[in-house]
Amino acid sequence: MSDKTFICLLVLFLAVTGGKSDVTFNFENNCLDNVWLSSSPSDGDLDPESGPGTLEIFDMPDPWTGSIWARTKCSANDSNYFSCETGDCRSGNLSCQGPQPTFPVTLLNFDIKQNVVSYEVSLVHGHNIAVRIQPDGGSLVGGSGPCPVVDCIQDISNVCPAPLVAKNENGAYVGCNSACDVLKDCNPNQYTQAFKQLCNLAHIFPGDSTPPLYKCSGAAVLGKITIANPMLETTFENYPKGKLLSRSLRLVQV
């Protein structure tokens, strides 16, 4: 596949403070291009557009349950209708809080309730970026060990079958759809098996319970949202220097 060259890595710091009943997100854009962060439901004061090297700060209420995702390659046409190649919400406007995104899209799902944070990486609706959520300290609810990493950091484009490939209007690859959305096959199948082999720490299909939905207490949750060059053979740890910019996502409880 060709023209898959959007290179970006985003950092989202989340601070939970004892004196406020909300969660503060500090979103740093270390990408080489603009990105548009989105959430559903739309609780919070998220500023949608973030240019390279900028920092956005916004609050989400506690409790809050929802999804966060990144829109890529967004622009307005001659009629001022705003749209994105991935993660678009079909509103026609710059703001994309509330509506669910178009697929394919990689979702970071959170359930924030005081000192307990549930988290997952979901490919149930396809894949448009590589992501990692890496807890820093803390323990699983129930005392069953430290809070584990969940991620999908491999190149899905290498295994995305032709029926699931998502392309832009120029025919370039932009993401990989799920079999559930496109083929209406929501059970484990040959496609989910291939994705699971690459991203065994993410949830791939509806009802996927491996790994379980982790609930973490007393941690700084560090996650990395990555958009890398899928033309290269890569891993999260050894991406070629100059091709990836390190970012992180942190939830701090004080």
**Which tens digits make up the pLDDT trace of 114-125?**
777 888 999 999
Query: Which residues 6+ apart lie within 8 Å of 99 measured at CB?
Result: 40, 89, 90, 91
Residues found in the chain: 254
Which of 28, 82, 32 is closest to 58 using CA atoms?
28
Cβ atoms within 10 Å of 51's Cβ, excluding its own: 11
235/155 Cα distance (integer angstroms): 8
Model-level pTM? Answer: 0.79
232/160 Cα distance (integer angstroms): 15
Which pLDDT tens digit goes with each residue over 82-137?
Answer: 999 999 988 888 877 667 899 999 898 988 887 778 889 999 999 988 777 777 66
How many Cα atoms are found within 13 Å in the side-chain-facing hemisphere of 147? 25
Most confidently modeled range among 138-147, 202-211, 216-225, 236-245: 202-211
What type of residue is 179? Answer: A
8-253: CATH number: 2.60.110.10
